Amino acid sequence: MNAQAEVEKRVASGQITWAGPVIVMIGRSIFMIAAQALVAAIFAVRGHPSPWNAAAPWWSVWGTLVDIGCLTLMAKFTRAEGIGLRDLIGKIQLRRGQDILLGLGCLLLGMVLFGAAGMLATKFVFGTVQGIPYAGLLSARRLPVWAVIYSLSVWWLIWSPTEEMTYNGYVLPRIQALTGSKWIAVVMVGFWWALQHSFLPLIWDWKYVLWRFLFFLPGVLAWLIAYLWIRRLFPLILAHWPMDVSAQIYTLSL
């Protein structure tokens, strides 16, 4: 039901317009800002002198609100197409380890690209690969025990598949059908997918925004191309999970 040919038929029949893909693509970033603002408001009510920054370390908790918003939007738009959220994932092929092997391949690709891009982006923006100035906000986060447990057990289980469903499963095939070009779709979706990482959390520093964008751009472009090649989401979800778990281990002060 989410095959490219089927998506193109629904575009031709008017079931899919630009509204759904654009709202979902941009909406994920808006939900991130809104969720952080909500938590910041709670800190403000409690009298914290810097509520926005106080909310930043909690991104692996309030991030689930972002997922709920995205899943709600996608459920609304896919329902109008006559399909469900499960259709965005497609076939799962665990027999003879097909999806597991593809997932491992995507994981290795991601580790190389994100690792290399991270170092290059850090050097380009900050002039050094040492001492990124966001400890306590993005990294070295100190959270209560319950929030640490949640971040390491629940957040990534929901975040990874929702992010893959958003950009690869839902937005990419529909923008490809609407534009008639897979490469235009890859550039458009890749831009927003990379940019969203600048909002998790949002720190009001243009260097931070640029750094996060450049950090993630090569990796997300590669994963978009990988999805166009394999046309199944589950291997990418399998690859995404350990990367998000490692992000928690790296950024939390355990």
- φ, ψ dihedrals at 202, nearest 5°: -95, 120
Tens digit of each residue's pLDDT (9 = 90 or more) over 176-222:
999 999 999 999 999 999 999 999 999 999 999 999 999 999 999 99
- φ, ψ dihedrals at 253, nearest 5°: -90, 95
pLDDT the model gives residue 1: 85
Tens digit of each residue's pLDDT (9 = 90 or more) over 102-147:
999 999 998 999 999 999 999 999 988 776 778 889 989 999 999 9
Tens digit of each residue's pLDDT (9 = 90 or more) over 238-254:
999 999 999 999 999 87
* Tokens coding 157: 């289980």
Instruction: Please check whether residue 114 is in contact with residue 219, taking contact to mean a CB–CB distance below 8 angstroms.
Output: yes
pTM of the model: 0.94
Q: Among residues of the chain, what percentage have pLDDT more than 70? A: 100
Tell me, letter by letter, the H, E, C secondary structure of 57-69.
Answer: HHHHHHHHHHHHH
pLDDT the model gives residue 93: 83
pLDDT the model gives residue 131: 67
Instruction: Please check whether residue 62 is in contact with residue 38, taking contact to mean a CB–CB distance below 8 angstroms.
Output: yes
pLDDT the model gives residue 16: 96
Tens digit of each residue's pLDDT (9 = 90 or more) over 147-179:
999 999 999 999 999 999 999 999 999 999 999
Mean pLDDT computed over every residue of the chain: 94
Min mean pLDDT across 1-5, 36-40, 42-46, 83-87 is at 1-5
